Amino acid sequence: MASHRRSEPGSLDRNTKVGMLTAAAAAATAAAITVVPATAAPALPKEPSATVRAQVDRLFEEAERATERFNEAGERADRLRADVGRARDRLARAQDRINTMRGLLGAFAGAQYRSGGIDPAVELMLSEDPDDYLDKAATLGRLTDHQARQLDELRKEQRRLGQERSEAARKLVELEAVRADAAREKSVVTTKLAAARRLLNEMSAQDRADFERASRTGDRDGALPDPPADGSFGPASGRAAAAVRAARSAVGRPYIWGATGPSGFDCSGLMVWSYRQAGVSLPRTSQAQRYAGRRVPLSEARPGDLVTYRSDASHVGMYVGNGQVVHAPHPGARVRYDPVGMMPVASVTRP
């Protein structure tokens, strides 16, 4: 009879132990694999250049638009200041004429006063300072036709003087509003530029160099041939040629927003200064420069033509031939040559 040995309580046979040990080892190995952090491939360096450069370009573009609005406000303020000055001159002259008329009529009023009566209309006209008029009362005895005409002219002058005063006051209010506009645009420009500088400061030196190259030229290596050494950019009129020479002489000078040279320029300021050297007065803003002459197709551009960019004409350069413009690109850059097609062309204008 076969005998059966009972297993001791809590004991495991060998095969069971081996199986359980194998399962435990497998589980431990799996757990170890699960908790070990992944270090297979190093993280790729983040690629800020495209995004950051696009942000900086956008900020510079917005600052440039605000700069042109600031320039426009400044130009309007200059016109209004001139208008206010002329209005003040007219007021002074009108007041002198009224004072003279009052003096002549005052003499007549004095004579009438001594004779026992004074015309109510004359009294009304002269009521501000009757004593002064009564001192001149020795020469006239009665209101002649000539004096009646003087009285009528005095009334008209007083009405004109009131209108001049109202107009001068309106111009002063408008001037204050324009000054406030300019202050707001200045704040926009400085805010945008500060944000752009912060982004630029976060770039590596290589990224900044790439941005400078790509900011207007489309990131083309060796984008432009050198300009001709003899300055021969093709046919141009005498004044256009003089403006081109002036613009070329400004190459290398810094972009300074709101500036019209000679030490620095914004985009439209460079055009103003260059044509001023040729004896030609241009409007201050790129938007106004767009209409400061005859419009021509880009295919017919000549040296000295003004090339405006973007649909709102918020940037401008001067065509100098050889497929190039000279322009002040943006804050932080210097006046330089770039391809005429660096941005969408809005118009070409021949002053």
Q: CA 306, 309, 311, 312 torsion: positive or negative? A: negative
Q: What are the respective helix, strand and coil percentages of the chain, to the nearest 5? A: 55, 10, 35
Q: Residues with catalytic annotation? A: 267, 315, 327
How far apart are the C-alpha atoms of 147 and 193, rounded to whole Å?
68
Q: CA 258, 262, 267, 273 torsion: positive or negative? A: positive
Residue 344: helix, strand or coil by DSSP? Answer: coil
How far apart are the C-alpha atoms of 61 and 66, rounded to whole Å?
9
**Cα angle value 149/153/157 (rounded, 5°):** 170
The closest alpha carbon to 327, from 99, 296, 59, 310, belongs to: 310
How far apart are the C-alpha atoms of 90 and 84, rounded to whole Å?
10
The closest alpha carbon to 72, from 190, 182, 189, belongs to: 182
